[in-house]
Amino acid sequence: MSTITIEPLFHHSRIRNATCFSGSNRFHSSSSFYAHPNNLFSSSHAQPRFFCNFKPPRPLLLRASSTDTALLDTSTSSDVSFKKTFPLKQTILEEGKIFIRLDRGKNEQHWQLTVGCDIPGNWILHWGVSYIDDVGNDWDQPPEGMIPSGSVRIKDYAIETQLKISSSSSAGDTFQEVKIDFDPKSAIAAINFVLKDEETGSWYQHKGRDFKVPLVDYLQEDGNMVGRKKGNSMWPGALGQLSNIFITKEQLDSKDEDSSMDSIEPIKEKKILEGFYEEIPIAKKVDVHNSITVSVRKCPDTEKILLSMETDILGNVVVHWGVCTDDAKNWELPSSPYPPDTVIFKDKALRTLLQPKEGGNGSQGLFTLEEGPQGFLFVLKQSEKTWLKYMGNDFYVPLSSSSISSVLPTSGLSAGQETPGKSVEESEGSLSAYTKGIISEIRSLVSISSEKSLKTKTKEAQESILQEIEKLAAEAYSMFRSSVAAPPEEAVSETEELELPVKIQSGTGTGYEIVCQGFNWESNKSGKWYMELKEKAEELSSLGFTVIWLPPPTESVSPEGYMPKDLYNLNSRYGTIDELKEIVNKFHQVGIKVLGDAVLNHRCAHYKNQNGVWNIFGGRLNWDDRAVVADDPHFQGRGNKSSGDNFHAAPNIDHSQDFVRKDIKEWLCWLRKEIGYDGWRLDFVRGFWGGYVKDYLDASEPYFAVGEYWDSLSYTYGEMDHNQDAHRQRIIDWINATSGTAGAFDVTTKGILHAALDRCEYWRLSDQKGKPPGVVGWWPSRAVTFIENHDTGSTQGHWRFPGGKEMQGYAYILTHPGTPSVFYDHIFSHCQSEIGGLISIRNRNKINCRSTIKITKAERDVYAAIIDEKVAMKIGPGHYEPHSESQKWSLAMEGRDYKVWEASG
């Protein structure tokens, strides 16, 4: 059998057209999936075998068990001089197979394709079909009768079907499969698919391409077909001799022998269908989390040191250990006796096999040591290739009283560590019971959310848990703000009063930000934009803006800045580096934070390679073609495959390279220090994995960060679908990949506002659960809402907001949760006074990114909602007045087809 390489991929997204952001695109298998370099596996086929129930056997794999907290050492806490739980994390390779089978269905007119996988996971089959007269590699959706129940349509080109545990599986079996019935007399030429594991976000392909099951035998071989003939071999099975060319055309109607294969007209009534069965090996990287707890006490009878150790790692665990007598921590052999099952290793260390715990949930050991050594050193050995250390170093356990006191914290406790004679409750006495209760509830919900994501992927469970977390976080914010002593009211400006003194997490701000996009598509033309904008700093501050987003600062091939070249050259069409520093300083003086527009996905080269391709860089970051991804044919990169979608106008940077990430982190930190930027607007983040974004934000520690994750909404026959859950889920998936360190522009909300206002269909502004239908309805603290920007509006106008209805859009985003962003062109226009009035209402009522919302009306001609029980609003030509038995409302503001009320008692 031949060798098959399976490539797990981190993202699947449609390529965004460089100049158009809406509408639907055709799907091309050759350019839509990309592999992460660290997840490429290659293995050989096992010998094929016939399976009656399509249920292959599985080897027993290493699994993390729940921690058994019973220690071998049963001493009381007062006897323990040191105790610590060390977290252990390792990545194991789980190997298995994808199984593909084609055989006859219930009758002659129906056949069945079965795709299965024997590795545990939440597997999704992402598939489509190609028709006989199609040209190229485009996917299409199959006929309605071919789609299994419970499937989800992905725009107009694919179907996603959840694999389910096989009905023939025995207890404990994890084999999953999906069956697709089809009519062999249809015009379908091939069935295409890829497999996605939603637990890890990885996509699995065949030889770097989509799997393709051809249903006609004249398709050109492109290396990714399954069920094809290999030499003259036949595979035995229940159907007899199974040929892997399973549709035979007996005649080709070709008048010209030199014509291309695409011009060949098949004779459909002559084809013969035969079955096949194929196994393709795959491997999946799985993170396993365990721990080891070590405690030290002195035996009151012998005065010897007793060190007990227990871990929840399954299987044999060998402790490779020794002692040290000074701070240099040089390994030495201790004096005997040694624990059972101990051997000496090269006169330098000891190896002791830990004993299984009762019940088999891990292992434990007891080490008796003479007084004298300062510390106990060890590493864990599971196999010849598996060694576990602590944060890259040997585990170190202090033994003497002086060494113990040197490693114990003076304030607070690290995870799993206790101070002798002092309870955890006492050490946390500075926290009120109310505060601890909120923290406990949030942690519990996060834990439940993680567990739920492993067991079920239902949107209802995720949405409910996420909303509860947001409510608790909002309560925590409110409690914290009320507990901070404020200066006299007359000495505090409105803007200052709204600032939260402590930032909960880097990149997410305080929750009260209001963003101004400080440029448009034409701002570069004067060459002095920084100085022009500087003159408007006080005005923007007086309007209530707290954050301004500046244009890309680097030298760029395009004058707008989105084709960067030398990242350290900050003399751009907007002004010089000195002028940039000056404007940043000015905005800081008026209390406004500044975001830099960081283009990290692509970079324009300085030089051509030997083939005449522009992929060699100059300037301070003089990268070569190893910094360019390998799967963009335009630029001949020697890096790894992209972890996202390629932007074909410039070389796409390979963020998997260590030197690239190091240089980008240094550049961002330099911008923070040299220029004074407070955070980032991240361009085209669909082009690279969100985990890299987390790495960059951890290094640069921004006050606020937002990513541009942009793709098309769902349409059916040109009309926007009411349900846009799949679209907002893709944005949330990216935010989640960053570990929540960045927000994202709520493109879903913008698109739905377009349809609602333009077509007078305000019912669109409530989802099936009665919540806002955009990202703001699911994860409001990470949703940056907007109605226009330099791409969609300005002179580009790629997706312009319905004309004359902009203030309805601002009445929505400036009264709702999320972080609103206002476009420069709208601020400095006839809309300024109305925008300023809405911002004032938002600030006066302390509406923030986590505010609660109750939608009270969502009908054809009117939408209305109440926010935090403080503000009521309505948009649309229809009538609405807020009513509440316990609340009186006064009209605060109104304009064309919108009104806003404030609670008045």
| Closest to 203 (Cα-Cα) out of 483, 472, 484, 13 | 13
Rounded to the nearest 5°, which phi and psi values hold at 161?
Answer: -125, 130
> What is the C-alpha separation between 783 and 884, in angstroms, rounded?
29
Rounded CA separation 547/849 (Å): 14
Q: How far apart are CA 885 and CA 903, in angstroms?
A: 12
DSSP 628: B
Is 603 buried (19+), middle (13-18) or exposed (0-12) by CB count in 10 A? buried
Specify the long-range contacts of residues 413-416, CB closer than 8 Å, at least 24 apart.
414/84, 415/85, 415/87, 416/84, 416/85, 416/86, 416/87, 416/291, 416/293
Closest listed residue to residue 823, CA positions, set 844, 799, 845 = 799
SS3 48: coil
Helix (H, G, I), strand (E, B) or coil at 485: coil
Question: How do 272-273 and 349-353 pair as beta strands?
Answer: unpaired
- 3-state SS class at 489: helix
Tokens at 56, concatenated: 């292959």
Spell out the long-range contacts of 720-724 with Cβ–Cβ below 8 A and sequence spacing 24 or more: 720/751, 720/752, 720/754, 720/755, 720/764, 722/764, 723/767, 723/768, 724/748, 724/751, 724/752, 724/773, 724/774
Q: Which residues of 625-643 are buried (b: 16+ CB within 10 A; e: fewer)?
A: bebbbbbbeebbbebbbbb
DSSP 744-765: EE-HHHHHHHHHHHHTT-GGGG
Rounded Cα gap, residues 98 and 5, in angstroms? 12
- Token pair recorded at residue 97: 């197979």
First to last CA, the chain: 79
Instruction: Quickly count: other Cβ atoms within 10 Å of residue 446's Cβ.
Output: 13
**What's the sign of the alpha-carbon dihedral 580, 581, 582, 586?**
positive
DSSP-derived 3-state class of residue 903: strand
Secondary element (H or E) of residue 12:
strand 11-12
- Looking at 105-187, which runs of residues are DSSP E strands? 111-117, 123-131, 152-154, 158-162, 164-165, 176-182
Positions annotated as catalytic residues are 683, 708
Residue pointed to by tokens 């071919």: 146
Q: Say how far apart CA 141 and CA 155 lie, in whole Å.
A: 9
| Amino acid present at 364 | Q
Q: Are 130 and 140 in contact (CB under 8 A)?
A: yes
E strand or H helix at 82, and its extent? strand 80-104
What ranges make up the beta strands (E) of 686-760?
704-707, 715-716, 719-720, 743-745
Distance in angstroms (rounded) separating the CA atoms of residues 44 and 71: 44
Fill in the DSSP letter of residue 174.
-
Separation of alpha carbons 812 and 767, rounded Å: 16
Cα 571 from chain centroid (whole Å):
34
